[in-house]
Structure 1
Amino acid sequence: MNDSWDESADVVVVGFGAAGACAAIEAADAGARVIVLDRFTGGGATAISGGIVYAGGGTQQQREAGVTDTPAAMAGYLREEVGDVVAAGTLRRFCEQSAGMIEWLSGLGVPFDARRCPYKTSYPTNRHYLYVSDSEGSTPRGHRVLARGTSGRVLAARLTAAARARGVAVHTQTRVEHLVTDSGGRVTGVECRTLRGFPALAHRVLHRWSVKPALYLPPVGRALHRPVTWLERRYGRPLRIAARGGVVLCAGGFVFNRTMMREHAPDYRGGLRLGTPGDDGSGIRLGVEAGASTAHLDRVTIWRFLSPPSAMLGGLLVDRNGHRVCDESRYGAAIGEAILRSPDAKAWLLLDAAVLAECRRQVWSQTLWFQRWQAIWLLTAGRTTGRTPEAAARRAGIDPTGLATTLAAYQPAAPVGVAATPDPAGKPAGLVRPLATPPYSLIDVSVRNRTAVPAPMLTLGGLRVDEDTGQVLGVAGLYAAGRTAVGICSRSYVSGLSLADCVFSGRRAGRSAAISDRGGLHAHRG
């Protein structure tokens, strides 16, 4: 190899979240010597996520819970969400391998559980770990990693341990700045800046302090993160690493890159950016500089969950004109998108006194702490009330005539125990409530109403890749996975689909990079 290289490996993985860890594990299991590089300390957005993996087709947990599911049924539903963002064969393969994916993760020490949540929710409590995490409403495919609170940290930790146990070398606090290519344009390595000694300790502490503020208080998060970037520039020493088989980009999306967000997805503002400061589009930029193309950078998912408590789904979601926005039982991303496309991106949920009382009874039993304070606010100070729907509408700034008309069209579907007219928006009959008991409440659930309930969002598009191998199209020796690449969830999102795609695409890219042996540089074990 070239003497100018400081280190060399068969496969170099950039980013150590779920996609990067899965790529490293598969490459190592295929016999490759693997080096992983992470700008911070690993885990990425996975570590701060809910730890939901979308899986079906008859997983062990589904079977234990008495749930009947098949790969064909899973693919039939996902086709509605995925559209043509990936080929039919790729989606079919994803679904057929889904149950095996959970088994593979379990074999790496990732714990799952079959306790099924009996009601519709955005995220189950610590009593439940299998739940309906999409808009279908009947088949639970959301597999929550077994842990109290948000479970992503456990998923990240177990994948990290599995990679290290295979001899994967992990260089943390190492920022990749450029890809190195040969005269033919093939990617042969990376150029980085890495930290050692005291600056590394300060860098680690400052980054950790900035992650949560970056989510909830962006200006504060940016201020706290400036010293992190300064330390990288001031104290980072150059490091060049050769990659014999290939480089795999797993550096996340670009939700923290304000310039890219304004350029590609200007409508998506005011949401809570779900990720870390590492989701700055750097992986996408590296690929583009090497000659790659991108797709679906305009696709961003923004979530507005109405539940928990589950009784909230009995309300009526309307815009400023009083018109129905959508079926209230749909998944939060579908509701968020519908609200975003409503006039002024505003929406309100109409409840009557009976439904409001039911919601209040459910708050303590159906919520975790981070859901609870939001629900309490919405059900108390976050609502506008009136003795009639029209009175509440006038106070909230909604057209009272439009609301009355919408409510009249909704009411025939409401009587319990009667052969009712189907709900005009398609809400399941079991979730429809009469909304006939005064006083009435209108709750502001606009996606840009961050005062009470922030709307999380993440980017879905990325580098275009070969769907059989994960190789970046047009760039030899370069692979991409997770939110750095176009994948299963690049058109639409349901809970757990991004992590599932990270596992699916990460394994694919790592395996492909490991077997791209150009002359017997390493042995293979599969």
Structure 2
Amino acid sequence: MSRAQHTSSNSKILAPLQAERLSAGDWHDTCDVLVIGWGAAGACAALEASSNGARVIVADRFTGGGASAKSGGVVYAGGGTRHQQAAGFTDSIQAMFDYLKHETQGVVSDATLQKFCDDSVSNLDWLESHGARYAHSVPPGGKTSYPSDGHFLYYSGNELVPSHAGTRPPAPRGHRTVGKGQCGAVLYGHLKAACLRAGVQPLLQSAARRLVVDASGRVVGAEFWRLPQGSREARLHARLAARAERLQNFAPGYCDRLRLKVSQLERDHGQPLLIRARRAVILSTGGFIFNRGLIRDHAPNFRRNFKVGATGCDGSGLLLGQSVGARSERLSRVSAWRFINPPHCWPKGIVVNSNGQRFCNEEVYGATLGQPLCDEQGGQAWLVLDARLRKQAIRQALFGGYWWFQSLPALALMLLKVRKGDNPDRLASVCGMQAGELSGALRAYNAGARGDGPDAFGKSEGSRQVLDKGPFYACDISVGNPIFPLGALTLGGLKVDESNGAVLDTDGQPIAGLFSAGRTAIGVASHLYISGLSLADCVFSGRRAGLAASGRNEPGTTIASRLAPTDSARVTL
């Protein structure tokens, strides 16, 4: 490929390259399984493929980690893990299935969800066998968006919310990897080290630009644009990318400009590199929250949200799959996280829309609240407190032992970005709400809090508190509030065969030689996010794709045996 062709592409995914146009000398390297994207899903896929005897190359646009390394390192696991048992909780596979059946709303088949639950304990054990550690210490105070240091088992979703919990006793299933701070980097560090010990070959600072297909349409490799290793440009690329990830929470606009410089370096200095895959290619580059064009086209309601993820969440895996006819689903599905816990007492307030009407159960998980806020309420909402509850919340934010990223925005919201009214009608007026709507919402809520009837949105009795002590306060929890960012990540992706992770085409048929895992693919976490479910699905789907791509799906089944006789000969190019 000429430099002119390379430069004019503007870093977009190109149409697939035809293998018959290549000679043996055009390939720079050959492997059995090529993994594109080295986050948690890619690492798990690479480990399993390697354990099955495959020679594995794992390529990454940066140096690995992706959104997984920036996450909290929480893995959703249940059914009786040893850490649940040590903490004194009884859980069962059936209870886990029933709860997730409600949360996932049919995004995967019952059989796949059942297998996910059945494999939960063994997948956590598998992570521990590769060096990750988990523990049974439970944080005080019940529910939290993320536990403080020293606490590693918690209710990470809606398990304590009566309308979500199901008929069986709830159990905490959020297993935070043991470490300090945000523990995603700890978990990923163990997976990366395990890959290197297993002989997986990394191909870093290599941006995938197109797949390679043979005459039958089978995917047989990929082309990358790789920065010259050790060059000044490669060092600058790594430095700018690391800075963008490190400062994203503090200066997202500045970090977006850094990402433009990173892309420019790739366009100007990347060199084409062809890797052949004898058995299969696995796409595991994450979601597409940093691809503003895809967000604009498929999820415009979320354009103003704070982007949760890493720079590599650029949609490249999705676009690579689509370039060879892959089917995609749920691209409009985005998880928006509006956490109002901690402070632990905040859910005792009410959340209302721009008209002053209540629209949700305030005690639900942040993504369960954020989805209707963005999709149904135009991104506009208020958290309404009375003087008594505001005082309680300020005290908790100051002295509750929360993370700074929990306490500081909460304090800023209650002290700086707040509207005040001596009574509900006055508060409604200063907020631009419809006359009478807020006072009506408070009257109905207070009746339930006094025990005069059920809460209209199913809030549990322990999360209700009469709001009648003026003045009243409205905290702006809208998507556009800069001091209280509303994060979002994409959930849609490539449709795969749920038995093995093979990417399906628009007719529902597998695309030979192509698999996908993690947030590039439709999986257990693709309806509505709860903490730990995405990483758990990365492990589940990554291991599944790695085994199948390397030649093993179920006992006695190999890729060659699933192909037609004329195709099995093409496993080796």
For the 8 Å contact 1:349–1:442, the answer to whether it is kept is yes
For the 8 Å contact 1:308–1:366, the answer to whether it is kept is no
Hey, what does 2:361 align to over in structure 1?
327
For the 8 Å contact 2:361–2:458, the answer to whether it is kept is yes
Hey, what does 2:198 align to over in structure 1?
166
Pairing 1:200–2:223 present: no
In the aligned structure 1, how far is the partner of 2:329 from the partner of 2:559? 29
In the aligned structure 2, how far is the partner of 1:287 from the partner of 1:374? 39
User: Post-superposition shift, 1:286?
Assistant: 0.7
Hey, what does 1:80 align to over in structure 2?
102
In the aligned structure 1, how far is the partner of 2:350 from the partner of 2:150? 29
Report the TM-score, using the length of structure 2 for normalisation.
0.87
Comparing 454-463 with 508-517, greater Cα deviation is found at: 508-517
Comparing 428-437 with 357-366, greater Cα deviation is found at: 357-366
Secondary structure, aligned partner of 1:472: strand
User: Post-superposition shift, 1:369?
Assistant: 1.4
Hey, what does 1:124 align to over in structure 2?
147
In the aligned structure 1, how far is the partner of 2:452 from the partner of 2:151? 32
Pairing 1:386–2:428 present: no
In the aligned structure 2, how far is the partner of 1:366 from the partner of 1:331? 20
Hey, what does 1:484 align to over in structure 2?
520
- Structure 2 counterpart of 1:305, from 321, 326, 339: 339
- Structure 2 counterpart of 1:352, from 364, 373, 386: 386
Pairing 1:405–2:444 present: no
In the aligned structure 2, how far is the partner of 1:29 from the partner of 1:124? 34
Hey, what does 2:296 align to over in structure 1?
262
Aligned residue type for 1:254: F
For the 8 Å contact 1:40–1:173, the answer to whether it is kept is yes
Comparing 233-242 with 428-437, greater Cα deviation is found at: 233-242
| RMSD of Structure 2 on Structure 1 (CA) | 1.8
| Gapped regions of structure 2 (runs ≥ 5) | 1-22, 161-169, 505-509, 552-557, 561-567
Hey, what does 2:503 align to over in structure 1?
472
Hey, what does 1:504 align to over in structure 2?
540
Aligned residue type for 2:87: A
Comparing 384-393 with 65-74, greater Cα deviation is found at: 384-393
In the aligned structure 2, how far is the partner of 1:400 from the partner of 1:382? 22
- Structure 2 counterpart of 1:454, from 477, 482, 485: 485
Pairing 1:395–2:430 present: yes
- Structure 1 counterpart of 2:328, from 291, 294, 297: 294
- Residue-pair matches, total: 518
In the aligned structure 1, how far is the partner of 2:361 from the partner of 2:44? 37
Deviation readout 1:181-217 (Å, 9 max, x if unpaired): 1110111111112121222211111111122445554
Hey, what does 2:549 align to over in structure 1?
513
Hey, what does 2:459 align to over in structure 1?
427
In the aligned structure 2, how far is the partner of 1:387 from the partner of 1:127? 42
Aligned residue type for 1:240: L
Aligned residue type for 2:31: A
Aligned residue type for 1:61: H
Secondary structure, aligned partner of 2:511: coil
For the 8 Å contact 2:355–2:432, the answer to whether it is kept is no
The verdict on how the C-alpha distance between 1:186 and 1:343 changes in structure 2, with shifts beyond 3 A counting, is closer
Aligned residue type for 2:50: A
Comparing 406-415 with 90-99, greater Cα deviation is found at: 406-415
In the aligned structure 1, how far is the partner of 2:249 from the partner of 2:449? 39
User: Within 5 A, what are the aligned runs for 1:246-285?
Assistant: 246-285=280-319
Aligned residue type for 1:394: S
User: Within 5 A, what are the aligned runs for 1:140-179?
Assistant: 140-179=172-211
Pairing 1:133–2:133 present: no
In the aligned structure 2, how far is the partner of 1:215 from the partner of 1:378? 17
In the aligned structure 2, how far is the partner of 1:186 from the partner of 1:91? 29
Deviation readout 1:379-425 (Å, 9 max, x if unpaired): 2112222222222222222234111111111112224xxx5522121
For the 8 Å contact 1:124–1:366, the answer to whether it is kept is no
The verdict on how the C-alpha distance between 1:452 and 1:151 changes in structure 2, with shifts beyond 3 A counting, is same
In the aligned structure 2, how far is the partner of 1:425 from the partner of 1:365? 28
For the 8 Å contact 2:139–2:154, the answer to whether it is kept is yes
For the 8 Å contact 2:289–2:490, the answer to whether it is kept is yes
In the aligned structure 2, how far is the partner of 1:220 from the partner of 1:378? 23
In the aligned structure 2, how far is the partner of 1:177 from the partner of 1:344? 36
In the aligned structure 2, how far is the partner of 1:342 from the partner of 1:93? 33
Deviation readout 1:407-463 (Å, 9 max, x if unpaired): 111112224xxx5522121111011011122222111111232x2111110111111
Question: Moved runs in structure 1, 4+ residues, more than 3 A?
Answer: 212-219, 341-344, 516-522
In the aligned structure 1, how far is the partner of 2:249 from the partner of 2:181? 17
- Structure 1 counterpart of 2:40, from 15, 18, 33: 18
User: Post-superposition shift, 1:22?
Assistant: 0.3
In the aligned structure 2, how far is the partner of 1:494 from the partner of 1:425? 20
In the aligned structure 2, how far is the partner of 1:92 from the partner of 1:342? 32
Aligned residue type for 2:51: D
In the aligned structure 2, how far is the partner of 1:517 from the partner of 1:465? 16
In the aligned structure 1, how far is the partner of 2:221 from the partner of 2:123? 30
Q: Percent identity?
A: 44
The verdict on how the C-alpha distance between 1:342 and 1:244 changes in structure 2, with shifts beyond 3 A counting, is closer
In the aligned structure 2, how far is the partner of 1:210 from the partner of 1:486? 28
User: Post-superposition shift, 1:342?
Assistant: 4.5
Aligned residue type for 2:209: E
Aligned residue type for 2:259: H
Hey, what does 1:111 align to over in structure 2?
133
For the 8 Å contact 2:292–2:303, the answer to whether it is kept is no
| Gapped regions of structure 1 (runs ≥ 5) | none
- Structure 1 counterpart of 2:59, from 15, 23, 37: 37
In the aligned structure 2, how far is the partner of 1:194 from the partner of 1:497? 33
Hey, what does 2:262 align to over in structure 1?
228
For the 8 Å contact 2:301–2:378, the answer to whether it is kept is no
For the 8 Å contact 1:325–1:347, the answer to whether it is kept is no
Comparing 8-17 with 438-447, greater Cα deviation is found at: 438-447
For the 8 Å contact 1:323–1:402, the answer to whether it is kept is yes
Secondary structure, aligned partner of 1:395: helix
Hey, what does 1:71 align to over in structure 2?
93
Secondary structure, aligned partner of 1:275: coil
